[in-house]
Amino acid sequence: MAFTDVSVTFGQGKDTVQALDRVSLGFGRGSFISVVGPSGCGKTTLLHVLAGFQKPSSGRVTVGGTEIRGTGADRGVVFQQGALFPWMTVAGNAAFGPRMRGASRREREERAGHWLRVVGLWDFRDRYPYELSGGMQQRLAIARALANDPAMLLMDEPFGALDALTRERMQEELQAVWRSSGMTLLFITHSVEEAVFLGTDVVVMSPRPGRIVGRFPSPFAQDAATRGTRTVKSDQAFVALREQVLGLILEGAA
């Protein structure tokens, strides 16, 4: 996956907002890319460009060497704000991707059921999204994206509405899924700790116009399964990297 000199400008004249300024960024298949940066710095815009929702004003984005020309089932998206189908049950939402692909009923039920269990929503499978809490809706959006088995998963603050305990559990689940699937992940978060814990690489963006101001390899993504989340997060090397990333963000804001 590669961004080459990607800029995005919204609006015209005095209302112009430059959301991204010549962003260049390349990652191999199977990377787990965490993106952090202050509110309004262009993180969602970056994700929308890769998803194919937003055309760059200039520059190009390629996946597997091919320039992207719109959305595709190879790139699953979990939006910052839930985009569930309110007229479908929880199970219906989770089975949506496989259904669009024309998967058999049996396969659809298996896939949806598996991911609903993983995110802890199996008991709510016959409910509707409005009957779920905000955090539960977010977990459903994650299950729905994963049920589609995308080669690349783009997640925009997916754990923002979760309580601390559920959030940590979901971090562990996501890491396990990523490790076993070979999927490439782009993960936006406001939590520096989460970014450092999950990512193989942490990308730091500056306030408007959004630029990449830092990129840190993080070794901890491979660690959690064997050493345990709490041990990793309190590790001295972990805390040092977390502070380094946070320092860069604060520096940019000053």
Ligand X SMILES: Nc1ncnc2c1ncn2[C@@H]1O[C@H](COP(=O)(O)OP(=O)(O)OP(=O)(O)O)[C@@H](O)[C@H]1O
Could you tell me which stretch among 74-82, 112-120, 202-210, 219-227 binds Mg ion (CB under 5 A)?
74-82
Please say which residue, 30 or 160, places its beta carbon nearer to ligand X: 160
Applying CB under 6 A, does 175 fall inside the site for ligand X? no
Please say which residue, 47 or 152, places its beta carbon nearer to ligand X: 47
Applying CB under 5 A, does 44 fall inside the site for Mg ion? yes
Q: How far is the CB of 71 from ligand X (least distance, A)?
A: 16
Query: Any long-range contacts for 221-229 (C-beta under 8 Å, 24+ apart)?
Result: 221/32, 221/175, 221/178, 221/179, 221/197, 222/179, 224/172, 224/175, 224/197, 225/175, 225/176, 225/179, 229/168, 229/171, 229/172, 229/197
Contacted by 209, from ligand X, Mg ion, none: CB < 5 to 8 Å by type: none
Could you tell me which stretch among 33-41, 132-140, 141-149, 242-250 binds ligand X (CB under 6 A)?
33-41
Please say which residue, 45 or 171, places its beta carbon nearer to ligand X: 45
Among 31, 34, 44, 200, binds ligand X (CB under 6 A): 44
Sheet holding 2-10, edge to edge: 17-26, 2-10, 58-63, 66-67
- The burial class, CB within 10 Å (0-12 / 13-18 / 19+), for 69 is exposed
Q: What is the CB neighbour count within 10 angstroms for residue 105?
A: 10
Contact footprint for ligand X (CB under 6 A): 10-11, 17, 19, 37, 39-45, 80, 208
